[in-house]
């Protein structure tokens, strides 16, 4: 192991020109302003447990197990929703979440996730509330709604552009969006992409997404990516759009090519929730991945009655990267997994 | 076999039967989406570059490339002869594999020859080589500050821009990464 001194580690400057120590201090201010902003809007902070029984069933998220006890939370979503059933109307949580096998310039297996939920607000109204809040946060922390990110100047002044998934495919990937696997496969190949013959629809969707769409999203202004296809509804409720397609009430926020937040008009029907848990688990088995238990208590709570609400999860590490001009998650963390 | 967690710059892998080297890579994963490792890989034979996206956990076949230190001996037709400095075995390497490296190949130069399936596929010269100037305009004394240059032909036939004070017959150091003059060598 490389010998180093803590003072040297904290003094070292990264490509943003700031030292690790300076960034840790800036980040503390950001977190404080984040809490203050939600507090002002009437949200109550919840300490959501890190040690949980059901880590979620998402086919593409691998939890870290704690033998004899359960799992480290991959997000606080299930617990926070139970509190909404219990009567809270505006709540938030800021704390660690854990996802195995995720490490890269935008990923660390332990990261800080912020989630907040607003009862009685539809997801389109919630998007407006969110852009106003995050723009105000940038102003509070950096003194401006225009910040210099590692990818260039980013203007957070609302309103932010809205783009549907279908529009993103057409404008950024130069190919039509399709729910048909073979159609997607041919379009991707016509665009010069190298795609394996055995890729299923979802893999093709995300290949186009990571290669052609995501790098070009939100370069100079944050973008809301709306109207996700039904198979990617996750825990969002669905509706029929103007073209007669079933889409999820889901939006994601991208800025500087970074996925910053994911939000839903939350699914409130217990039976549909059970069906989605089952669909996830079937997909996990099909992919040869371990199947984790769905959260029975969440399903029971939905039966009790989750009021109509919207909720969002945001990566605090990534928000710090954007606000402070950092190109890599390790720039804004006190310790990465490799530094432990 | 490698898998995607082994990917790093310089890793040599097989793609469609050809050996490639990873020149850049990034782990990407949409929050609710599939995890991939995006890579940029370079064909070790043709030099062409490809963007490949691997599924997380996907297996990659290692390219069994071997590198030997060899000495350049002579050219015969379109082939260049090199000798292994430990086994004294000699091999011939085709002109198209040598490529631009020919600009730096002087007699007895020590190079690294890359083999794939016992076939030479690449020749790597040192970062800096020393070469003699065989032809250039007469030197201008004293003019070392203006930064003005003139073309000079080296013993390999390569033409490089050198400062005005350099004389025919002198030796210079050349940076093989960009092909530029570095300094004059006293021999």
| Domain spans in chain A, listed from the N-terminal domain onward | 28-161+254-339, 162-217
Specify the CATH number of the domain B65-124: 2.40.50.140
Nearest chain B residue (CA) to A74: B31
Q: What residues does each domain of chain B span? A: 2-62, 65-124, 128-185
Contact B32 A234 (CB under 8 A): yes
Nearest chain A residue (CA) to B50: A194
Q: Whole-number mean pLDDT of chain B?
A: 92
B43 part of contact set with chain A, CB < 8 Å = no
pLDDT band at B147 (very low <50, low <70, confident <90, very high): confident
Interface test with B, best of A99, A206, A229 (most B CBs within 10 A): A206
Across A3-12, B106-115, B159-168, least confident range = A3-12
B50: distance to nearest CA of chain A, Å?
A: 9
Higher pLDDT, B148 or A6: A6
pTM of the model: 0.85
pLDDT for A1 equals: 52
Contact B29 A209 (CB under 8 A): no
CATH of B128-185, one of 3.90.1150.10, 2.60.40.1510, 3.40.50.150, 2.40.50.140: 2.40.50.140
Interface test with B, best of A191, A210, A254, A311 (most B CBs within 10 A): A210
pLDDT band at A95 (very low <50, low <70, confident <90, very high): very high
pLDDT for B145 equals: 63
B176: distance to nearest CA of chain A, Å?
A: 28
Per CATH, B2-62 and B128-185 having the same topology is answered: no
pLDDT for A259 equals: 97
pLDDT band at B96 (very low <50, low <70, confident <90, very high): confident
Specify the CATH number of the domain B2-62: 2.30.30.30
Identify all chain A residues contacting B28, using CB atoms and an 8 Å cutoff. 104, 106, 210, 214
Beta-carbon contacts below 8 Å between A and B: 62
Rounded to an integer, the average pLDDT of B45-68 is 93
ipTM of the complex: 0.92
Full 3-state SS string of chain A: CCCCCHHHHHHCECCCCCEHHHHHHHHHHHHHHHHHHHHHCCCEECCCCCEECCCCCCCCCCCCEECCCEEECCCCHHHHHHHHHCCCCEEEEEEEEECCCCCECCECCEEEEEEEEEECCCHHHHHHHHHHHHHHHHHHHHCCCEEEECCEEEECCCCCCEEEHHHHHHHHHCCCCCCCHHHHHHHHHHCCCCCCCCCCHHHHHHHHHHHHHHHHCCCCCCEEEEEEEHHHCCCECEEECCCCCEEEEEEEEEECCEEEEEEEEECCCHHHHHHHHHHHHHHHHHCCCCCCCCCHHHHHHHHHHCCCEEEEEEEHHHHHHHHCCCCCHHHHCCCCHHHC
pLDDT band at A3 (very low <50, low <70, confident <90, very high): low
pLDDT tens for A260-311 read 999 999 999 999 999 999 999 999 999 899 988 889 999 999 999 999 999 9
CATH topology of domain A28-161+254-339: BirA Bifunctional Protein; domain 2 (3.30.930)
Q: Is the pLDDT of residue B107 over 80?
A: yes
Contact A203 B55 (CB under 8 A): yes
Contact B33 A107 (CB under 8 A): no
Q: Is the pLDDT of residue A185 over 90?
A: yes
Identify all chain B residues contacting A259, using CB atoms and an 8 Å cutoff. 30-31
Q: Is the pLDDT of residue B97 over 60?
A: yes
pLDDT band at A19 (very low <50, low <70, confident <90, very high): very high
Give the range with max mean pLDDT: A121-135, B107-121, B122-136: A121-135
pLDDT band at B47 (very low <50, low <70, confident <90, very high): confident
B27: distance to nearest CA of chain A, Å?
A: 5
Q: Is the pLDDT of residue B141 over 90?
A: no
pLDDT for B53 equals: 96
Identify all chain A residues contacting B8, using CB atoms and an 8 Å cutoff. none
pLDDT for B143 equals: 60
């Amino acid at each position: 192991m490389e010998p180093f001194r803590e003072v040297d580690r904290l003094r070292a400057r990264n490509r943003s020109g700031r030292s690790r120590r300076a960034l840790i201090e800036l980040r503390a201010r950001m977190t404080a302003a984040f809490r203050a902003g939600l507090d002002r809007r009437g949200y109550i902070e919840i300490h959501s447990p890190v040690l949980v029984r059901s880590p979620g069933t998402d086919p593409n998220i691998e939890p870290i197990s704690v033998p004899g006890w359960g799992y480290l939370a991959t997000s606080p979503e299930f617990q926070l929703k139970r509190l909404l059933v219990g009567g809270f109307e505006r709540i938030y949580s800021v704390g660690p979440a854990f996802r195995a096998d995720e490490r890269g310039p935008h990923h660390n297996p332990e990261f800080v996730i912020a989630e907040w939920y607003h009862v009685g607000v539809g997801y389109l109204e919630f998007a407006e509330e969110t852009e106003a809040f995050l723009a105000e946060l940038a102003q509070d922390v950096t003194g401006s709604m225009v910040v210099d990110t590692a990818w260039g100047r980013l203007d957070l002044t609302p309103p932010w552009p809205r783009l549907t998934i279908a529009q993103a495919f057409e404008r950024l990937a130069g190919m039509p969006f399709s729910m048909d696997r073979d159609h997607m496969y041919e379009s991707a190949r016509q665009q010069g992409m190298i795609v394996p013959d055995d890729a299923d629809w979802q893999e093709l969707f995300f290949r186009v997404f990571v290669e052609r769409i995501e790098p070009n999203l939100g370069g100079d202004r944050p973008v809301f990516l709306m109207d996700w296809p039904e198979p990617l509804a996750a825990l969002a409720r669905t509706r029929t759009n103007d073209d007669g397609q079933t889409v999820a009430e889901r939006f994601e926020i991208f800025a500087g090519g970074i996925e910053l937040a994911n939000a839903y008009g939350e699914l409130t029907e217990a039976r549909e929730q059970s069906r989605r848990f089952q669909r996830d688990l079937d997909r996990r088995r099909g992919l040869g991945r371990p199947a984790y238990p769905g959260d029975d208590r969440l399903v029971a709570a939905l039966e009790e009655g989750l009021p109509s609400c919207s909720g969002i999860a945001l990566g605090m590490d990534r928000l710090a990267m954007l606000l402070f001009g950092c190109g890599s998650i390790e720039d804004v963390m006190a310790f990465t997994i490799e530094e432990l | 076999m490698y898998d995607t967690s082994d990917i790093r710059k310089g890793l040599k892998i097989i793609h469609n039967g050809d050996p490639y080297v990873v020149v850049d890579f990034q782990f990407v994963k949409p929050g609710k989406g599939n995890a991939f490792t995006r890579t940029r890989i370079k064909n070790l034979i043709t030099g062409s570059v490809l963007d490949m996206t691997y599924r997380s956990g996907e297996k990659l076949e290692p390219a069994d490339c071997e590198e030997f230190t060899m000495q350049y001996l002579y050219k015969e037709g379109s082939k260049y002869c090199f000798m292994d400095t430990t086994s004294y075995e000699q091999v011939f390497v085709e002109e198209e594999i040598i490529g631009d490296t020919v600009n730096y190949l002087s007699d007895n130069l020590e190079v690294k020859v890359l083999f794939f399936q016992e076939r030479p596929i690449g020749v790597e010269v040192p970062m800096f080589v020393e070469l003699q100037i065989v032809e250039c305009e007469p030197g201008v004394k004293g003019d070392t500050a203006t930064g003005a240059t003139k073309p000079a032909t080296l013993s390999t036939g390569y033409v490089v821009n050198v400062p005005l004070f350099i004389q025919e017959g002198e030796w210079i150091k050349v940076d093989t990464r960009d092909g530029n003059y570095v300094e004059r060598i006293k021999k």
